[in-house]
Chain A
């Protein structure tokens, strides 16, 4: 309807079937995604500024990350960087019209993204098990903390702004990565991905024990499933190279944000033994 109206206007101006050239020389979905990413970068910018402010304000700032945590975070960084490479190769395959390789590269990106989430989740569980927690918040989530004393438990009691900043920033990023994996799954597999996501959600909900920090947050997958189902059934479409490119922009942004979180949160809080 809207297109017909626009065409009518164009005909009225003596240019049948032609629309005004796009301002940025790019299609609207791409411009829309760039504008969203610009606004989202301000969200992360504010969080990173708040983290840096806390870092300067608090003396002494805790340095709880031993070699093991740094090695883990480095592997996570390598996973995200590699996922960006597979993503850009997927975009190239989509532009060539190679559907099989587009799907393969997108799947590779999802595997790297999932590896990042799993490694991050394991690290969170380990830190919480050793006593790192946001005071009061963990009991709301029903999280079991094994260590009531020790280095990390002391940090939680004496410097709560560290745990709040650490969990707040990394949780926000982890949520973005999860949304990114679901987004790529929809673009790569369309309705078939609903079944895959549903199986992963139900399996995870049963496998993650009650005392784990992800016992309730795993239902984000259920919310994602519902939203994807609504989108896919209300507007079923075959995603083309432009859609792959736009999803790639989102994915690279998630990678980009981690390039600031990794040095600011982890490397600036390294414990040298």
Chain B
């Protein structure tokens, strides 16, 4: 149907089961962190977001196969979406930082 060059990669089932298990374990860690409330809310937010970014990287890289796409496609997608999020961050968070320091006024 399409004559498209594919980058050769290991398409064995085993790696997907490992990724799935890793995702479940990371979710369990998140639940324990959230339920035990071992950190302050801000530290908790940072810890949960780091774990979420790791989980999303596993999903995008392995389940969505982006790891095995051409470098041009990989970097163009990641950089453009990340740039948009950084711009959103600049819009939202200076005010949030002000609120955290000085309270709601």
Interface of A with B (CB < 8 Å)?
Answer: 21-27, 31, 34, 38, 41-42, 45-46, 49-50, 52-53, 56-57, 59, 67, 70, 74, 77-78, 81-82, 84-85, 87-89, 92, 95, 240, 242, 245, 248-249, 252-253, 255-256, 259-260, 262-264, 266-268, 270, 272
- Residue ID in chain A nearest B5 by CB atoms: A25
A267 touches B73 (CB 8 A): no
Contact, CB under 8 Å: A25 / B85: no
B residues in contact with A67, CB < 8 Å: 35
**Contact status of A74 and B73, CB under 8 A, knowing A41-B81, A249-B64, A268-B48:** no
CA distance A27 to B55 in the complex (A): 27
CA distance A170 to B103 in the complex (A): 28
A49 touches B88 (CB 8 A): yes
List residues of chain B with CB within 8 A of the CB of A85: 16-17, 20
Q: Is the CB of B34 within 8 A of A268?
A: yes
Apart from A248-B64, A267-B33, 12 more pairs, CB < 8 Å: A21-B5, A25-B70, A25-B72, A49-B88, A57-B99, A78-B24, A84-B20, A84-B63, A256-B60, A259-B59, A267-B35, A267-B48
Query: B52–A263 contact, CB under 8 A?
Result: yes
A272 CB to nearest B CB, Å: 6
